Every structure is written in C-alpha cells, then in structure tokens.
C-alpha cells in the first residue's frame, strides 16, 4: 500500500486545475430543469469540456476520452468539484449508459453514440421505471414487438430524469407475453421520434426534474438494441452497478459539500451551539471515509477485481451522508433555512435548501435503500431471503 500520488498523477491534477480555472463559468448556470435555455447552457458547457477532451477521461481516445485509469478519473472529479463546475447534464449518459455500452455495445454502436455522448451532442435519459415497476423493475410492462428489423415500442415510462429536454433515452422493454426477468431488452430511442410524448413531472418545489414518457407505436431499428435480445435484465443490472457503485456519485461531491459546511459553521459560530461542530466533523469524516472506500475500490478494480454487492453499501452511505450534511446546514441556518433564493435577508443560505430537497431523493433512486439493505443482507452476508 502506498498512499502517495505519483508525480504523473500530480501533474495531471495540475493540468485539470489549470484548465478548470480558465474555463469554469464564474456564476451558476440557469437550471437545466426549468427552461430549454438552461438546458442548452449546460450542453454548451459539455461541449467546452469535450473540446478540452475532458468529457469522459476514462474512455478510449477514439470515443473522445483520454484512456485514463480510475485513479485519474477520481483526481479529475476532485478538481471538477473543487472548481465548482456545473452539474453534468448528461450524467445518465456518461456515467450509466456509457460504461454499459463499453461492455455490451457493438463497435458500430460505440462509434455512433459514444463520441456524441462525450461531446454533449446527445444528452441521454434513463427510461426504466414505470408506474407499476419501481423497486420491482422486473415488473416492467412496456413492450418491444419485433417487426422485421425494427422494434415497435409501446407503453409508459415514468421518473425519467432530464427527459423533458434530453435527446435520447435508453429504455427497458419486454417481448409481449414474456414475464419477469425473461424476455427483456434494452432499447435506445430518440425522444423526438414519432409516437413519443413527454409529460414533465414537477418536483415538490416546482422544478421539472423528471418526465413521464408515453410510447405509442414508436419504431426503432433492431440495431439500436443494446446487448442481446432477451438479455435486458442482465444488461440493466450492469448499469445499476455503475449507478450505485463508482460512477454516479463521486466522493469529491461530498467532500466539497463538507468543506462548505465547515465554512458555514465558522461564519455562523456566534449563533450556533458549539455542539454542532460535532455534526460538522462527522460529516467531514464520513465524506473522507467515502473517498477512501472509493479509492480502495478503484485500486481493486485496477487490479482486475469487480464490484459486487458492495455497490449497495456505497449507495446507502452516500445518500445518508448527503442528507446529514444538508440537515446540519439547515440547522445552522435556522430560520433562514426555509427561504427561497429571491427572499431578502438570506445571508449565506446559498443553495442548501435546494440541495436538501435533492438529497431527500437519494435514498429512493438508484434502487431504494431498503432494497439495498436487502441486497447487502442476502447477497453480501448470506442471510436467508425474506
């Protein structure tokens, strides 16, 4: 074990830092969940990242990446969050679909989709959940009916993040008549294809963070299926592993939040009981613990290992950490916590409220924490199935 960055890794960090300092927008971009303009502003940022070849540093150069290892990806993420760069509007593409495509895609699919994904030219949404199929994803009812070299897609998807303005979706469909884990396929479809209707869903604060997608005889080429026909469940579980495991929530995100919390505490010391420093310290320790665990995981993967059910432990840890960081911040803010951004007298309330609302969803998406606990108990610890 050696916990020193190599000179090359340090040089890489310096390179990222220099680029970020020169390029990260000085103020926050308008929300990508409220207007097309805000969405496009984020797409422009993705394009700029791609011009610097920072779109997805772990991908092969042929697909717009730099072919770097996971340690460098972590360093990149650290610098990205440290610089306060915009949230990746294409996270469902680059962090979920991208790695899945690397594993299951044909060469043709990789060449068609990955460079455009890295560039933000195609922003992707995940279309798996349905009104009747949330935790029980094998309950999906939407169908892909084979018609020569086309699929005809029908059904209803829900909770599809960013789908209000996104360009493409990767959806989970089943062969008519098939049941549960059998007969499913992962099919890619353009969100502006004939027969696709999107209905935005407002979050509790009015932001249109997700959408329902209605599919009415939507025709797509069979070539846009990812993985084998009928193997959709298997493909999805790989994606879910990326979602819970390493990619979706990188540790730097929480380390930056913990640093902001420390600053908030310091700035409000006079009105905050001294004991709150203990919660702040806990948040900081937990953020570091998450970072250490992910570094260890990245090293294990680099040595040829795989991620198993411990992806579920990650997911529980970051989602609960996020809530605690935000609850502590709200407690420090006290009667300023409830104020919306335009309110007077907000002082340094920042975006803690918005972050808190977002954090509340953490234990629900990417597989609820109850389901993750079942997975840990049964698959990691070998307890009897309930």
Partner 1 sequence: MDFAFTDDQAAITQAAREMLVETCTPTDLRRMLEAGEPSDQARWSTINEMGLLGILAPEAAGGLGLAAPDFVGIAEAAGYVALPEPLVDLAGVTIPLLASLDDDHGWTERAIGGAVVAIGHPANRFVADADTADALLLGDGEDLHIVSRNAVTLTRAESFDPLRRLFQVDWAPSDETRVGSGWGDAADRGALFAAAQMIGLAQRSIDMAVAYAKERTQFGKAIGGYQAVKHLIASAQVKVEFARPVVQAAAAELALGTLPSRARIAHAKIVAGEAADLAARTSVQVHGAMGMTWEVDLHFFLKRAMALNYAWGTPAAHRRTVIDRMTSLPTGPDKTFASELADA
Ligand X SMILES: Cc1cc2nc3c(=O)[nH]c(=O)nc-3n(C[C@H](O)[C@H](O)[C@H](O)COP(=O)(O)OP(=O)(O)OC[C@H]3O[C@@H](n4cnc5c(N)ncnc54)[C@H](O)[C@@H]3O)c2cc1C
Residue numbers annotated as active site: 243
272 binds partner 1 (CB under 8 A): yes
CB of 216 to partner 1, least distance (A): 23
What are the CA-CA distances from residue 107 to residues 63, 111, 113, 223 (Å)?
Answer: 11, 6, 10, 11
| Residue (of 164, 159, 169, 155) closest to 217 by Cα position | 155
273 binds partner 1 (CB under 8 A): yes
The Cα–Cα gap between 210 and 376 comes to 29
Buried-state track 92-124, b at ≥16 Cβ within 10 A, e below 16: bbbbbbbbbbbebbeeebbebbbbbbbbbebbb
Nearer to ligand X, 323 or 371 (CB): 371
Strand-pair partners of 371:
none
Q: Which does 160 bind (CB under 5 to 8 A by kind): partner 1, ligand X, none?
A: ligand X
Question: Which residue among 21, 136, 192, 278 contacts partner 1 (CB under 8 A)?
Answer: 136
CB of 82 to ligand X, least distance (A): 25
Note whether 124 and 90 are within 8 A (CB): yes
CB of 126 to ligand X, least distance (A): 4
Q: Which does 254 bind (CB under 5 to 8 A by kind): partner 1, ligand X, none?
A: none
Q: Which does 252 bind (CB under 5 to 8 A by kind): ligand X, partner 1, none?
A: none
Q: Which does 128 bind (CB under 5 to 8 A by kind): ligand X, partner 1, none?
A: ligand X
97 binds ligand X (CB under 6 A): no
Note whether 56 and 277 are within 8 A (CB): no
| Residue (of 95, 166, 73) closest to 366 by Cα position | 95
The Cα–Cα gap between 31 and 40 comes to 10
The Cα–Cα gap between 85 and 16 comes to 12
CB of 374 to ligand X, least distance (A): 6
Token code pair at residue 276: 């709150």
CB of 305 to ligand X, least distance (A): 27
DSSP per-residue string spanning 274-297: TTHHHHHHHHHHHHHHHHHHHHHH
CB of 227 to partner 1, least distance (A): 24
Chain residues 113-172 in contact with ligand X, contact rule CB under 6 A: 126-129, 134-135, 159-161
Q: Which does 340 bind (CB under 5 to 8 A by kind): ligand X, partner 1, none?
A: partner 1
272 binds ligand X (CB under 6 A): no
The Cα–Cα gap between 369 and 162 comes to 22
365 binds ligand X (CB under 6 A): yes
CB atoms within 10 A of CB 163: 30
Chain residues 321-380 in contact with partner 1, contact rule CB under 8 A: 323, 327, 330-331, 333-340, 342-345, 353, 357, 360-361, 363-365, 368-370, 373-374
DSSP code at position 97: I
Residues engaged in binding partner 1 (CB under 8 A): 129, 134-136, 139, 158-159, 201-206, 210, 271-273, 276, 323, 327, 330-331, 333-340, 342-345, 353, 357, 360-361, 363-365, 368-370, 373-374, 386
Residues engaged in binding ligand X (CB under 6 A): 92, 126-129, 134-135, 159-161, 210, 361, 364-365, 368, 370-371, 374
């Amino acid at each position: 074990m050696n916990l020193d960055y190599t000179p090359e890794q340090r040089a890489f960090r310096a390179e990222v830092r220099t680029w970020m300092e020169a390029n990260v927008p000085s103020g926050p971009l308008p929300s990508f969940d409220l207007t097309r303009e805000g969405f496009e502003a984020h797409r422009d940022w993705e394009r700029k990242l791609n011009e610097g070849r920072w779109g997805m540093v772990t991908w092969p150069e042929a697909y717009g990446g730099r072919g770097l290892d996971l340690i460098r990806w972590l360093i990149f993420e650290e610098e990205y969050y440290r610089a306060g760069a915009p949230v990746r509007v294409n996270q469902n593409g680059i962090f979920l679909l991208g790695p899945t495509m690397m594993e299951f895609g044909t060469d043709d699919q990789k060449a068609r989709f990955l460079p455009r994904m890295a560039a933000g030219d195609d922003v992707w949404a995940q279309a798996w959940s349905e009104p009747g199929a949330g935790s029980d994803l094998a309950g999906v009812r939407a169908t892909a009916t084979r018609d020569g070299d086309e699929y005809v897609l029908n059904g209803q998807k829900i909770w599809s993040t960013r789908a209000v303005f996104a360009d493409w979706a990767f959806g989970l469909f089943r062969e008519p008549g098939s049941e549960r884990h059998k007969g499913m396929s992962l099919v890619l479809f353009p969100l502006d294809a004939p027969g696709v209707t999107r209905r935005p869903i407002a979050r509790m604060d009015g932001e249109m963070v997700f959408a329902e997608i209605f599919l009415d005889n939507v025709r797509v080429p069979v070539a846009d299926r990812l993985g084998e026909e009928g193997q959709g469940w298997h493909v999805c579980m790989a994606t879910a592993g990326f979602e819970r495991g390493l990619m979706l929530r990188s540790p730097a995100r929480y380390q930056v939040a913990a640093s902001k919390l420390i600053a908030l505490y310091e700035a409000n010391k006079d009105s905050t009981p001294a004991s709150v420093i203990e919660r702040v310290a806990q948040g900081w320790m937990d953020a570091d613990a998450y970072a250490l665990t992910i570094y260890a995981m990245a090293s294990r993967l680099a040595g040829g290992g795989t991620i198993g059910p411990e992806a579920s432990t990650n997911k529980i840890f970051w989602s609960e950490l996020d809530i605690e960081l935000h609850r502590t911040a709200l407690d420090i803010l006290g009667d300023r916590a409830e104020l919306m951004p335009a309110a007077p007298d907000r002082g340094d309330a920042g975006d803690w409220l918005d972050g808190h609302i977002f954090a509340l969803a953490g234990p629900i998406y990417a597989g609820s924490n109850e389901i993750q606990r079942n997975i840990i108990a049964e698959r990691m610890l070998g307890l009897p199935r309930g």
